[in-house]
């Protein structure tokens, strides 16, 4: 076990003691950790040199952590292409692209044809910013590709649009990417080079969960799915970091709707890692007062360092 960290409230319930103003990902990412952030940050170390968000998804975590440098990685390469574009372009360039596409394709809550035409264009031209516009109008704002890597998520009729909240989140998010030192990688998690990391780094993992379902772990979105083999490879990778004295924090669920992730629970117990139970709904509610019935989830943060 690594023994370096002291706990810190980087921001309390997004209140006054925050160090970084919280920004919410404009991607409305399924499984996004924005709501859990106050709890997660409480258990992150005070000083972080490089923060690796190994399964960054919507970037809700990496974008809100105070670190000297942030590495965002996700194997959804097209998503990473989009983030690179958001980092390289000014807020006004990004907004002007989004708004001109909305006008050009007549995008609205009801225009399915305009959405299909933009989707066709994106699948031919692959302009990263068009992926953002598509996600704004797609069903549940999901990003999904078929095995030929064609974006195939249907239109979010009467539900999805580039609304004022999304615009506000986009502006703040692009601003954050500009103000922090960060880089983007689009590799399978076990191919990311972590060899330079030292004891001041923190590798945060929010992988697909073995016992829940999401579009990113069904293996049907044109990218690697998540199965037992991936899970074991990840746990071995974390053991390797631990052996080198590099800190890690892993988000996961150990119980969900009557299922248990025994491999994960056994691994935590065998290595003596710390398991912190989080609450989905209330940042401060105690594990003991939580509903642990059949429909509940036991969401945890596993660390190899002690928060005092
Ligand atoms: C639970 S989401 C992360 C959500 C993120 N923490 C947030 O707050 O927005 C998991 C992410 O892992 C990515 N992923 C799945 N398998 C992967 C793999 N083998 N290597 C790297 N990333 C992977 C998915 O594309 C997805 O974006």
Question: What's the whole-model pTM score?
Answer: 0.91
Q: Which residues pair with 253 in a beta bridge?
A: 299
Atom of ligand 1 nearest to the CA of 31: 1
Region 257-276: mean pLDDT is 96
- Closest alpha carbon to 217 in 111, 285, 144, 152: 144
CB-defined site of ligand 1, < 6 Å: 25, 29, 31-33, 55-58, 60-61, 74-76, 188-189, 206-208, 216, 224, 226, 230
Contact 87, 184 (CB under 8 A): yes
Residue nearest atom 2 in ligand 1 by C-alpha distance: 57
d(CA 209, CA 161): 28
Which mutation among 25, 29, 32, 55 tests ligand 1's pocket best, with the greatest number of atoms within 8 A of CB?
55
- The pLDDT, as a whole number, for residue 279 is 84
Residue nearest atom 27 in ligand 1 by C-alpha distance: 57
- The pLDDT, as a whole number, for residue 75 is 94
Predicted confidence (pLDDT) per residue in 85-96, tens digit: 999 999 999 999
Atom of ligand 1 nearest to the CA of 59: 9
| Phi, psi for residue 71 in degrees, rounded to 5 | -110, 120
Residue nearest atom 7 in ligand 1 by C-alpha distance: 32
d(CA 191, CA 240): 14
**What average pLDDT is seen over the chain?**
89
Say whether pLDDT at 26 is over 80.
yes
pLDDT grade for 30, boundaries at 50, 70 and 90: confident
Predicted confidence (pLDDT) per residue in 98-151, tens digit: 999 999 999 999 999 999 999 999 999 999 999 999 999 999 999 999 989 999
Burial class (CB in 10 A: 0-12, 13-18, 19+), 245: middle
pLDDT grade for 69, boundaries at 50, 70 and 90: very high
Distance 105 CA to ligand 1 centre (A): 30
d(CA 169, CA 164): 9
Residue nearest atom 18 in ligand 1 by C-alpha distance: 188
Radius of gyration of the chain (CA): 19
Which mutation among 79, 186, 216 tests ligand 1's pocket best, with the greatest number of atoms within 8 A of CB?
216
Which mutation among 72, 73, 75 tests ligand 1's pocket best, with the greatest number of atoms within 8 A of CB?
75
- The pLDDT, as a whole number, for residue 224 is 67
- Closest alpha carbon to 221 in 152, 156, 160, 154: 152
Contact 235, 252 (CB under 8 A): no
Domains and CATH numbers, the chain: 37-75+187-303 (3.40.50.150), 89-169 (1.10.1020.10)
d(CA 130, CA 178): 20
Predicted confidence (pLDDT) per residue in 136-179, tens digit: 999 999 999 998 999 999 999 999 999 999 999 999 999 999 99
Say whether pLDDT at 308 is over 70.
no
Predicted confidence (pLDDT) per residue in 204-219, tens digit: 999 999 988 665 555 5
Say whether pLDDT at 60 is over 50.
yes
């Amino acid at each position: 076990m690594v023994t370096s960290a002291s706990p810190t409230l980087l921001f309390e319930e997004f209140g006054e003691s925050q160090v970084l103003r919280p920004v919410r990902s404009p991607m409305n990412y399924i499984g996004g950790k924005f709501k859990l952030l106050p709890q997660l940050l409480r258990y992150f170390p005070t000083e972080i040199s490089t923060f690796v968000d190994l399964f960054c998804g919507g970037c809700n975590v990496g974008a809100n952590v105070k670190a000297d440098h942030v590495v965002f990685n996700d194997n959804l390469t097209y998503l990473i292409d989009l983030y690179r574009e958001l980092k390289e372009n000014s807020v006004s360039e990004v907004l002007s692209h989004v708004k001109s596409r909305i006008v050009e394709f007549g995008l609205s809550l009801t225009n399915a044809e305009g959405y299909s035409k933009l989707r066709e264009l994106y699948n031919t031209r692959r302009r990263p910013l068009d992926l953002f516009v598509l996600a704004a109008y797609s069903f549940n704002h999901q990003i999904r590709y078929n095995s030929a890597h064609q974006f195939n998520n249907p239109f979010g009729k009467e539900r999805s649009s580039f609304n004022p909240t999304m615009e506000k989140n986009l502006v703040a998010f692009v601003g954050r990417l500009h103000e922090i030192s960060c880089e983007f990688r689009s590799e399978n998690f076990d191919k990311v080079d972590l060899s330079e990391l030292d004891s001041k780094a923190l590798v945060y993992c929010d992988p697909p969960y073995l016992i829940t379902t999401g579009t990113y772990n069904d293996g049907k979105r044109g990218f690697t799915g998540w199965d037992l083999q991936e899970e074991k490879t990840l746990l071995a990778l974390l053991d390797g970091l631990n052996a080198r004295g590099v800190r890690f924090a892993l988000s996961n669920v150990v119980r969900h709707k009557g299922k248990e992730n025994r491999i994960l629970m056994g691994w935590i117990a065998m290595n003596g890692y710390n398991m912190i139970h989080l609450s989905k709904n209330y940042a401060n509610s105690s594990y003991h007062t939580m509903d642990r019935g059949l429909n509940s989830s036991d969401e945890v943060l596993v660390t190899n360092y002690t928060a005092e």
